Amino acid sequence: MIKVKVCHVITRMIIGGAQENTLLTVEGLCQKSNYEVTLITGPEKGPEGDLLDQLQTNPSFQLIIEPSLRRNIHPIRDVVACLKLFFLFRRSHFDIVHTHSSKAGVLARLAAHGARVPVVIHTIHGLPFYPYQNKMINLLYRILERWAARWTDRIITVADAMRDQAVQAKVAPLEKFTTIRSGMNLNPFLRRDYDVTKIRSRLGIGPQDCVIGKIARLFHLKGHEYLIEAAQKVVAQFPEVKFLLVGDGILKESLIEKIKMGNLERNFIFTGLVQPEEIPQLISAMDLVVHVSLREGLAKVLPQALASGKPVISFDIDGAREVVQEGINGFLIPPCDTLSLSEAMIKFLKDADLSHKMGQKGMKFVDPYFRKEYMVEQIEALYSKLLTLNLKL
């Protein structure tokens, strides 16, 4: 059997939505008998944790760690990375190059175009340009994305909102886009046999405490400061409420300082860095999941929470409204609106029956559309379609 040779390229494999999406795609393709898969990534790690160890123990695909492929812009190093990718693509004769993240997307698409790779695909997990950004940088990213789109046969977006924003920014015409939502292993989130009392006890939370959770890197634009501000009004009515912050990052100390300034130390709990397989258990210990990021393609925590039977509150950004059905499985609120955020949290805390009903409706919404198998099937179908079109040209 002649196998389809596919190469995925991403800047770094930290613990994050884009990276987990890429890994699941690569692993899913490797389970098919007709694919030979290579993954190229940079060497960078971060306080969020990384997936490199997991990658290096997986024998089903070829892993290449390219030292010059880094997240931050560096003209000399970026030229080196592009040239190395170009020569690798020419030597390896890939049928498909599939890129992820803005930096790897630009460099690898340029290299693939120069090497005459038959099919070039890029996935937008989150647009590199966004409202809360320097105008010149915003313009530069728009130009680069338009430029790279010329060498791209199809652009995958994880949400219709990403597609619409990219079209509006004139990255590419509508017909060049395909929406394929990020898949995941839903089964651990659908389980209902976790020992919640034991999990809460380990975190210093009582069995009767109300727990509001947020899962995100402690990083810029993730919105932790809005949750801390809104918590003031929530704690005034529910002094025993606990806010469980799952994740780690460079802003931890500054967030702790904000919590101290608000006299909220007894209400906030940091888990620190956790592995992805721990997330389902932690969500099971929550009563409500809040997502207040200002920039996200389609946050995986939203379908994860709904699969776990938990209602959600999210800032109304990007693809959130494609998962959160207002008043049915959660609430959407305007970005940065801490008053609406506190009122929504209080509404759930006052009405346990409302939380339960919304959580039950959310479970039915995400399965099977967010299963990893469903995602890989859609990607494989797109590969086949584009390869067939290429052969006809």
Q: Are 376 and 183 in contact (CB under 8 A)?
A: yes
Query: What does the alpha-carbon distance between residue 336 and residue 382 come to, in Å, rounded to a whole number?
Result: 38
**Segments of the chain scoring below 70 in pLDDT:** 1, 392-393
Q: Which two structure tokens, joined as six digits, stand for 302?
A: 């939203």
Read off the pTM: 0.90
pLDDT at 15: 82
N- to C-terminal Cα separation, the chain: 23
Query: What does the alpha-carbon distance between residue 317 and residue 308 come to, in Å, rounded to a whole number?
Result: 22
Q: What is the pLDDT of residues 240-249, one digit of tens each?
A: 999 999 999 8
Q: What is the pLDDT of residues 63-89, one digit of tens each?
A: 999 999 998 889 999 999 999 999 999
pLDDT at 1: 67
pLDDT at 191: 93
Residue type, 327: G
pLDDT at 309: 93
Q: Which residue has the tokens 């915003």?
A: 138
DSSP codes joined into one string, 75-132: HHHHHHHHHHHHHHHHHHT-SEEEEESHHHHHHHHHHHHHTT-SEEEEEESS-S--SS
pLDDT at 393: 58
Q: What is the pLDDT of residues 214-248, one digit of tens each?
A: 999 999 999 999 999 999 999 999 999 999 999 99
pLDDT at 154: 98
DSSP at 287? S
pLDDT at 392: 66
Query: What does the alpha-carbon distance between residue 385 and residue 61 come to, in Å, rounded to a whole number?
Result: 23
Helix (H, G, I), strand (E, B) or coil at 247: strand
Q: What is the pLDDT of residues 16-25, one digit of tens each?
A: 889 999 999 9
